[in-house]
Amino acid sequence: MKNKNRLLCAIMLLCLSFTASTGLADNGNRSFRAGQVKAMTRNLYVGGDIFLPLQVPPQDFPAAAQQVIQQIIDTNYRERAVALAAEMLTEMPHAIGLQEVYDIEVCVIEVPGLCLVDDDYLDILLGELNANGDNYSTAAAVENINLSGLPVPSFIPGLGDVTLLVTIIDRDATLVRTDVTVQSAYGQNFCAGVPVDNPLLPTFTKILRGYTVADIQVNGRDYRFVNTHLEITADGSDNEAAFRTIQFLQAAELVGPARIPAPGICDPVGPEAPPVFGSTDAVVMVGDFNSNPADGPFETCLIPGGLCPTPYALFTGGMLGSVEIGPLLDTWLYRENDRWDEGLTCCQAELLDNAQSQLYERIDQVWIKPAPDHYGGPYVRGVDAEVTGNQPADRTPGGLWPSDHAGVSTRMILRTPR
């Protein structure tokens, strides 16, 4: 991570690979037609700071882990899932990109069958979505974090000193409406990830992030639907430059080639994947990008020269070396409704119990990219975009916000290949 030469090599490889990959896009013989599609992005929120135990000395690990477990219990995902499903069923998008789709199990070893938490966020949400009929199914998922069978010493009133067996799995997932045809789909981890060095977790060496890709057909029109969750920026911390470097490499991998090997920085995980933007179809990309359009186009990072383009700047036509990336369009800027709305999506209080919304930045977004041989226009029109889950009335009966993020739902008319 500290080796700038390796970072430079990674970026040079990225530029070369991207240049090579753009050749498949030129068709020029197709005609286009308009079609309406509706997309949504929703971060479900794990319910606590699960990375806290990774940041403390080993002797403080049990106490930090117990603190996070209590946060997850207090933020009550099962209650929140009812509110999240209500949002989605109100909007009824064709495809939904989900982030922080956790599967958490916290069980007492000494008492077989006693679990403090046993929540598969995906199964619970689908249960709510389909309680009154088949509305949604999973098209694609990617597993990012898997901490299975982790023993945590604890104290439980009435039981005394016990050992909790903890499993925490993080995923991103794409849901599609049952009237949407899925032609192909896959999930993939990014190469770049935050390194972890904790003697209590010898096999857990990197915090992975990922993305899902689903080629779908909506009313006879073909789209590529991409969902992702990029790394945080760790604003104001001593590690901000390192985190921004990793975030940049993830964003560059997303819009460039599928993989950029760079030993010690970006070690391949799993099988090779095709370029995300190698599709000849129109692309709809949603996610929690952890990149605010209010930020400047560049931020301090660890690459030679010391500056990385932010993901938002990269997507809106920034340069990657000598290669121009784009055009990707931020649909929020093209909406025809509520032009005064800032579209803020992050973040509520950690325990979700704040009385008034405290969202302050727009990091959850819906992007589109024309088919590479698109001509004529306009490419997009009739954009109607809404922030969801951001009003006091959206809270659960217990007074919890559905998530620390708000969602974004966007209906639009795109020109797609015939």
Q: What pLDDT, on the 0 to 100 scale, is given for residue 262?
A: 54
Q: What pLDDT, on the 0 to 100 scale, is given for residue 359?
A: 98
Q: What pLDDT, on the 0 to 100 scale, is given for residue 143?
A: 98
Q: Which letter does DSSP use for residue 400 in this model? A: -
Total structural domains in the chain? 1
Q: What pLDDT, on the 0 to 100 scale, is given for residue 134?
A: 96
Distance CA 81, CA 170 (A): 16
Q: What pLDDT, on the 0 to 100 scale, is given for residue 338?
A: 86
Distance CA 368, CA 79 (A): 33
Nearest to 254 by CA among 170, 204, 190: 190
Q: Residue 158 corresponds to which tokens in the numbers above?
A: 């009435």
CATH classification at residue 302: 3.60.10.10
E-only strand ranges, 61-131 = 95-99, 103-108, 115-120
Q: Which domain holds residue 63?
A: 4-417
CA distances from 236 to 56, 300, 361 (A): 18, 12, 16
Distance CA 287, CA 310 (A): 15
What predicted TM-score, i.e. pTM, was given to this entire model? 0.93
Distance CA 320, CA 256 (A): 9
Q: What pLDDT, on the 0 to 100 scale, is given for residue 323?
A: 59
Distance CA 159, CA 239 (A): 41
Please report which residue ranges of 304-413 form alpha helices under DSSP H.
311-315
Cis geometry, peptide bond prior to residue 93 (ω within 30 degrees of 0): no
Distance CA 125, CA 89 (A): 11
152-161, Cβ contacts within 8 angstroms, sequence gap of 24 or more: 152/61, 152/62, 152/65, 152/66, 152/69, 153/62, 154/62, 154/66, 154/69, 156/108, 159/108, 159/110, 159/111
Q: What is the pLDDT along the chain (418 residues), one digit of tens a residue?
A: 444 455 555 554 444 444 444 434 444 568 888 999 999 999 999 999 999 998 899 999 999 999 999 999 999 999 999 999 999 999 999 999 999 999 999 999 999 999 999 999 999 999 999 999 999 999 999 999 999 999 999 999 889 999 999 999 999 999 999 999 999 999 999 989 998 888 888 788 889 999 999 999 999 999 999 999 999 999 999 999 999 999 999 998 898 765 555 555 676 656 667 888 877 789 999 999 999 999 889 999 988 889 999 999 999 875 555 555 567 999 999 999 988 899 999 999 999 999 999 999 999 999 999 887 888 768 899 999 999 999 999 999 999 999 999 999 999 999 988 8
